[in-house]
């Protein structure tokens, strides 16, 4: 099975939700009008607001909110859209990744489990308490996993998603300069150790407190494709049948000593 996945490696203006959302919608319109329309379009972490957590009450949305409705007006019957925004629920706020389906319905959401202290997430946000693995019927029952940025440093949840059947894990991120080598190393490692496809979608440009290097990545552990450090929209073709071959050559998941560490 092949999947066409578009990565939107974009600049984000911290706090300017209207401009950021308009930019995302213009990208979706562009992709909708391409000769080859992707199955999935991926945006970075907090792609509508950036790290403007001091004003999160103004930016936050209950699901489904303004962002969803505007995306659906373009994405419906065309492609699945994945990204992360500020979610509000019962006077709590979450950094939440979502999967918005071609039918215009929310197929899955994941609230960031590991909150990043250096960017003050713990001061403003509530952590999630579940791991994000979702069966996507629109993509021939493929299971997709979701993580967000800092989660990349915690391999346990990626192993859990792989054991739950995820063949593809998508990671919306705002990984800052100067950590590009760490970013690339960890994405490759998560793909290699779980024999899955990893897609890391990173922001570029300058924020209020940090600058961001991009280097969005697609890898199945054997082959790696990496974007540069500027704004770019690129479509990748994922051959999911390659995972069967990779797992056949090395039955890594079957060779685990479950009696020792499960």
Take residue 78 and report the two structure tokens written for it: 């065309």
Per-residue pLDDT of the chain (262 residues; tens, 9 = 90+): 899 999 999 999 999 999 999 999 999 999 999 989 999 999 999 999 999 999 999 999 999 899 999 999 999 999 999 999 999 999 999 999 999 999 999 999 999 999 998 888 999 999 999 998 899 888 888 999 999 999 999 999 999 999 999 999 999 999 999 999 999 999 999 999 999 999 999 999 999 989 999 999 999 999 999 999 999 999 999 999 999 999 999 999 999 999 998 7
Which residues contact residue 135 at a Cβ distance below 8 angstroms, ignoring those fewer than 6 apart?
Answer: 141, 142, 143, 165
CA angle 114–118–124, rounded 5-degree value: 65
Catalytic residues: 45, 112, 149
Predicted TM-score (pTM) of this structure: 0.96
Measuring CA to CA, how many Å separate 222 from each of 87, 150, 188? 36, 23, 9
Q: What is the pLDDT of residue 254?
A: 93
Query: 55, exposed or middle or buried, with CB in 10 Å at 0-12, 13-18, 19+?
Result: middle
Domains in the chain: ranges and CATH:
2-246 (3.60.110.10)
Q: What is the pLDDT of residue 120?
A: 87
Q: What is the pLDDT of residue 164?
A: 94
């Amino acid at each position: 099975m092949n999947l066409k996945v578009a990565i939107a490696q974009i600049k984000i203006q911290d706090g300017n939700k209207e401009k950021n959302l308009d930019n995302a919608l213009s990208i979706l319109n562009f992709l909708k009008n391409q000769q080859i329309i992707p199955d999935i379009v991926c945006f970075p972490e907090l792609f509508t607001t950036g790290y403007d957590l001091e004003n999160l009450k103004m930016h936050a949305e209950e699901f489904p909110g303004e962002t969803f409705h505007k995306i659906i007006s373009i994405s419906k019957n065309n492609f699945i859209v994945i990204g992360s925004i500020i979610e509000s629920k019962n006077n709590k706020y979450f950094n939440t990744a979502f999967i918005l389906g071609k039918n215009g319905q929310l197929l899955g959401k994941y609230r960031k489990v590991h909150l990043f202290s250096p960017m003050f997430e713990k001061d403003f946000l509530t952590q999630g308490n579940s791991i994000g693995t979702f069966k996507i019927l629109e993509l021939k029952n493929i299971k997709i996993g979701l993580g967000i940025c800092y989660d990349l440093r915690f391999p346990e949840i990626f192993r859990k998603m792989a054991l739950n059947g995820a063949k593809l894990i998508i990671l919306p991120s705002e990984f800052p300069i100067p950590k590009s080598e760490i970013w690339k190393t960890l994405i490759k490692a998560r793909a290699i150790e779980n024999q899955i496809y990893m897609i890391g979608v990173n922001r570029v440009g300058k924020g209020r407190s940090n600058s961001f290097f991009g280097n969005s990545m697609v890898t199945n552990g054997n082959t790696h494709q990496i974007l540069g450090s500027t704004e770019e929209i690129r479509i990748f073709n994922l051959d999911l049948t390659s995972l069967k071959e990779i797992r056949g050559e090395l039955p890594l998941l079957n060779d685990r000593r479950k009696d020792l560490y499960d």
